[in-house]
Amino acid sequence: MKEYPIPYKTDSIYFQYAVTDYERSKKFYGEVLGFEKGWDGGAEVGWVEFLLPVAGARLGLNIDSKAKIEQGSGVLTMNMVDLDKSKSYFDSKGIETTDIVDIPDMVSYFNISDPDGNRIQIIADPRVSSK
């Protein structure tokens, strides 16, 4: 088995799109393309995940009703075992990282970019609890 420089989770790869109409987009990916919903936080949370027909791959739809969606854009999202160690790894490689964002009880993440400026989001289980 290949050893990676940072510990990815087994269900680690997501691709995500920003969408302006949450229900319309869920219907397209669920009913038209036939993807099974893995998790749906509803419009209040603004995030739904679909299981893709490849082991461990998921599609996330993130509602952004105010955004001007650029066609062909998206975000590769990778789920990590340890967010702080992952951030340190990228920093050590000279990769610019954003500050870590903590959404209590949901997710913690930071962003990097590839050499062409394509955004990659590095996520992990939430570091912060509201309890």
Residues 74-89: pLDDT tens digits? 888 888 899 999 999 9
Considering only CA atoms, give the Rg of the chain.
Answer: 15
- Answer whether 113's CB lies under 8 Å from 75's CB: no
pLDDT at residue 72, as a whole number: 61
pLDDT confidence of 7, banded at 50, 70, 90? confident
CATH number, domain 8-124? 3.10.180.10
- pLDDT recorded at residue 1: 63
Residue 42: how many other CB atoms lie within 10 Å: 10
Is residue 99 scored above 90 in pLDDT?
A: yes
For residue 38, the model assigns a pLDDT of 92
Would you call 98 exposed, middle or buried from its count of C-beta atoms within 10 A (0-12, 13-18, 19+)?
A: middle
Q: What number of CA atoms fall less than 13 Å from residue 124's CA on the CB side? A: 18
Token pair 């912060």: residue: 128
Q: How large a percentage of the chain has pLDDT more than 90?
A: 39
